[in-house]
């Protein structure tokens, strides 16, 4: 962790508050190693119920900024709550990065000792799906496509008896695929 910057608005930051913040915010390194900077803003204000203490924390991590804000009657309670918020965000962010980096690349690598060669084979899975498409006209198939919120819909054309596909184009129009008759 590089730096912890603590600023204030309408409040005097005592050495005890600064030390408390630094101790709380230094815990963030347990959740994520690449924290570049932590900026905390502590402020005091008034509400209809009485004094209101606000702790706002921004954590710079790998080009992203995580932000947490907490408002409480007590400044220490606000700091505790914003610390919990940031810790949850750091955990979620780290899990997201881990899930993205550990995506199965669908390759099998084998080494042959006899001729010192390495073989890379793709192991993509093919999932077989069997359909019994209902007979309908193109307009009804488009209605089914929209109702089911799918990218495409396979159906038997009631006019020709052939299997057809309707799909939604990027521009919002619909496409219709039917086999050519020879």
pLDDT, one tens digit per residue, over 88-143 is: 998 888 888 777 655 555 566 666 766 767 676 666 667 777 777 888 999 999 98
The set of residues, in sequence order, having a beta carbon less than 8 Å from that of 22 and lying 6+ positions away, is 4, 6
Among 24, 156, 88, 173, CA closest to 165: 156
Distance CA 176, CA 165 (A): 6
Question: Domain 135-177's class?
Answer: alpha beta
Domain with CATH 3.30.505.50 in the chain: 135-177
Domain with CATH 3.30.160.100 in the chain: 3-101
Distance CA 66, CA 85 (A): 10
Superfamily, domain 3-101: Ribosome hibernation promotion factor-like (3.30.160.100)
Buried-exposed string 169-181: b where 16+ CB fall within 10 A, e elsewhere: eeeeeeeeeeeee
Distance CA 160, CA 179 (A): 10
Q: Report the pLDDT value the prediction gives residue 61, as an integer from 0 to 100.
A: 86
Phi, psi of 41, rounded to the nearest 5 degrees:
-125, 120
Q: What is the DSSP string of 70-105?
A: EEESSHHHHHHHHHHHHHHHHHHHHHHHHHHHT---
* pTM of the shown model: 0.54
Q: Report the pLDDT value the prediction gives residue 133, as an integer from 0 to 100.
A: 80
Q: What's the pLDDT band for 78 if we cut at 50, 70, 90?
A: very high
Tokens coding 161: 């008896």
């Amino acid at each position: 962790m590089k730096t912890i910057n603590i600023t204030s608005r309408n409040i005097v930051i005592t050495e005890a508050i600064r030390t408390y913040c630094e101790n709380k915010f230094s815990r963030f390194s347990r959740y994520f190693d690449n924290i570049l900077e932590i900026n905390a803003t502590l402020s005091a204000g008034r509400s209809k119920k009485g004094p209101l203490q606000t702790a706002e924390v921004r954590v710079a991590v790998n080009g992203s900024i995580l932000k947490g804000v907490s408002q409480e009657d007590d400044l220490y309670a606000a700091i505790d709550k914003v610390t919990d918020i940031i810790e949850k965000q750091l955990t979620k962010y780290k899990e997201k990065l881990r899930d993205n980096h550990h995506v199965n690349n669908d390759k099998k690598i084998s080494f042959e000792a006899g001729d010192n060669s390495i073989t890379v084979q793709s192991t993509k899975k093919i999932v077989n799906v069997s359909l019994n498409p209902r007979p309908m006209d193109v307009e009804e198939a488009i209605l089914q496509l929209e109702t089911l919120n799918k990218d495409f819909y396979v159906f038997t054309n009631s006019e020709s008896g052939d299997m057809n596909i309707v799909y939604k184009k990027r521009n919002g129009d619909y496409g219709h695929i039917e086999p050519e008759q020879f």
